[in-house]
Structure 1
């Protein structure tokens, strides 16, 4: 993109709160190990809850997150997400959700972040963001098929919570 196009772009990024999703990840993260492609891990989603003004329901067991970790400079770890889950709305509709994302966790926070005995780590001390997309055959929730969203995440005692916003 030329410098002229960057300075005259008129697309202000707006968002609207979509929902809060709490993912239960019983059993923690499975360390697969460091291959030539990075430190691979997997987390099995055992359930969860979805609450929002236009969508409520459950996260079905069986989804997961396949992540990679590495280093960002000398004092932080960085990770990627490759997640797939199925949501079931309170009225029985199914929604397939995939998302990628990033986390950056300073080394002094990582010790607390990975310790299951620490029920809370202040999310202002680390960066956890996702970009979910949705797919559904539901007529009622068909509008989700055209939505791109972003989420701000935080580690919890049961797994992770994402506050998701629809990009407009």
Structure 2
């Protein structure tokens, strides 16, 4: 009976909020175009911030998201991410973040994203999820090297915001 309880505990996915990150993406997206592998785009990270109970600081300029997309259905687009950035904590440590992920955006929402006069779109109307991993030489933040995280994102007027959770 104890083995069953232990197995059940191991199979339950638990998380705790790690931080919120706000990536600033100025200058829009660079459309590389439709290649044989999908529609390719690039968005440069020009700055930002992250904040949470154990992490606070700034996102340094120079990272980016190399995404590609296609069609999930007749009325929705699907995308993947290949993003990298460098964070500087409030006490000066550097952390490299990389993530992949998925987005599903209905065409009606995509049209609102393209309209600069449209109000912000409720994030419940689209799907934006990431799986970030961290790398640092900092002893203070070395624990980040051993965790996996997931994030729930939303598009903002300055770029994108992700609420990131550490998977326990």
Give the structure-2-normalised TM-score: 0.93
1:21: which partner in 2?
Answer: 21
CA drift at 1:10: 4.3
Q: Which moved more, 1:97-106 or 1:116-125?
A: 116-125
CA drift at 1:114: 2.8
1:5: which partner in 2?
Answer: none
Structure 1 position 96 matched with structure 2 position 96? yes
Structure 1 position 145 matched with structure 2 position 148? no
Structure 1 position 112 matched with structure 2 position 96? no
- 5+ residue gaps in structure 2? 1-7
Structure 1 position 72 matched with structure 2 position 65? no
- Computed over aligned residues only, the root mean square deviation of the Cα atoms, in angstroms, reads 1.4
CA drift at 1:119: 4.7
The change in CA–CA distance for 1:10 and 1:18 in structure 2 (over 3 A counts) is closer
* Cα separation, 2, equivalents of 1:81 and 1:130: 8
| Residues 104-147 of structure 1: CA deviation (Å, up to 9, x unaligned) | 00111110123333351100000000000000000000000011
- 5+ residue gaps in structure 1? 1-7
Give the structure-1-normalised TM-score: 0.93
